[in-house]
Amino acid sequence: MDIPGLPARKGALKLLDAVLRRGETLDVAANAALLGVKGQADRALARALAGEALRWLTDLDAMIDSATRQVLPEDAKPRMVLRLMLAGWLRLETPPHAVIATGLELLSGGPRRLAHGVFSALLKREVKLPDYPTLPADVAARWGERAEAIAEGLGALPPLDLTLRDPSQTAGWAEKLGGVSLAPGHLRLPRGTAIENLEGFSEGAWWVQDLAASLPARLLGAGEGRRVLDLCAAPGGKTLQLAAASWQVTALDMSAKRLARMGENLQRVGLSADTVCADALHWQPDAPFDAVLLDAPCSATGTCRRHPDVLHRIGPRQIAELVELQAALLERAASWVKVGGRLVYAVCSLERAEGEEQAGKVGLTSDPVRAEELPAGIEPTPEGRVRTDPGMLAEHGGLDGFFVARWIKG
């Protein structure tokens, strides 16, 4: 007998397993985990269940542990299934009878009875989640004094941010789309907006880009025909910004597939850039650039609102490997800047090792960011750098975590 929603639960269980046991991202895991899940609605449900289970994992596990005599192993199948059952009930508001009908089908024998007993006990107690997720202890320790504010920012899913090709048209597009602008050239719309159906999509008036992700390119200002190198450029939001600001852009990335997608976006918005498919650690330009923007490969912990898997996949080993790569890229990027030119370094990470500590190693002259260069509500650090996190601009829907620093080559 076919049980409605069961394929989505099976897919969600595979996603959870791929993230927690194999360290895969949700996006990568989806290719295999959702092969047997037909229909967009069921695929979206599987992603939502797994995502909410990961977002609230610490709290869900505490509930499970409170209702068992012996602590279940972290990777025990009953624990995995209970995480999804509780996420469906407490986060997606699935009726308990439907949760039980679909959840227990993922188990058989003794584990099935165990899961049923635990869920029924928690249901009888009318348990509730806290106002915002509890971070894993090691993550909270790394993020320090901002950890609680960041956790508060994880409680709600992020809105949709757009970057406009022509910032002078911000007010007009805000009226047309019913959005709110937090900076020139930016619009914020409610989550769930169908992008392709919005006015301005087909004519390339805007592209999707989190407000925080737009800051690095903003800090290079108007290009006036000068040359800029956008390193690790795909999927291309910053390349589009730079081209729209009249920079002559060379966009380098080692992924041909991602560069092809960037080319499609450039065509849609009517902008141009020279694209280069190469490894920045081995490539060499013919001449230095007026500016270099390095949005370096990183842990992406700053995207935890959208990708809660990073809360559980990223640890000291992964961070250390990325720090080594970032340092090598920064050294090469700095060597490609003209005398008098600017270097901007950015990571969508909340880790000091990838941000503040990395920037401290750069031997160029600091070019401090000024408050008037940033959206209202975002202030530069005392060192003149930018640090954003999901706990900031909460009254407007928050933003991703980023670190940005800028230098001039003397």
CB contact at 8 A, 385 and 359: yes
Q: Give Cα separations from 188 to 206, 275, 290 (angstroms).
A: 12, 29, 32
One-letter amino acid for residue 323 of the chain: V
Q: How far apart are CA 281 and CA 361, in angstroms?
A: 18
CB-count exposure of residue 369 (10 Å: 0-12, 13-18, 19+) = buried
User: What is the DSSP secondary structure assignment for residue 180, as one 8-state letter?
Assistant: B
Chain centre distance of CA 187: 18
Catalytic residue among 232, 298, 304, 348: 348
- Diameter over CA atoms, the chain: 73
Nearest CA to 208 among 192, 223, 188, 222?
188
Q: How far apart are CA 341 and CA 350, in angstroms?
A: 27
Question: Got the DSSP string for 72-134?
Answer: PPTT-HHHHHHHHHHHHHHTS---HHHHHHHHGGG--SHHHHHHHHHHHHHHHHT----SSPP
- In the annotation, is 298 catalytic? no
Q: Give Cα separations from 61 to 39, 86, 359 (angstroms).
A: 30, 10, 37
Tokens 């108007």 -> residue: 222
- Three-state secondary structure call for residue 345: strand
CB contact at 8 A, 187 and 396: no
Question: Helices 256-269 & 237-244, crossing angle to 10 degrees?
Answer: 40
Beta strands 274-277; 248-253: pairing state: parallel
Give the residue numbers marked as catalytic.
Answer: 348
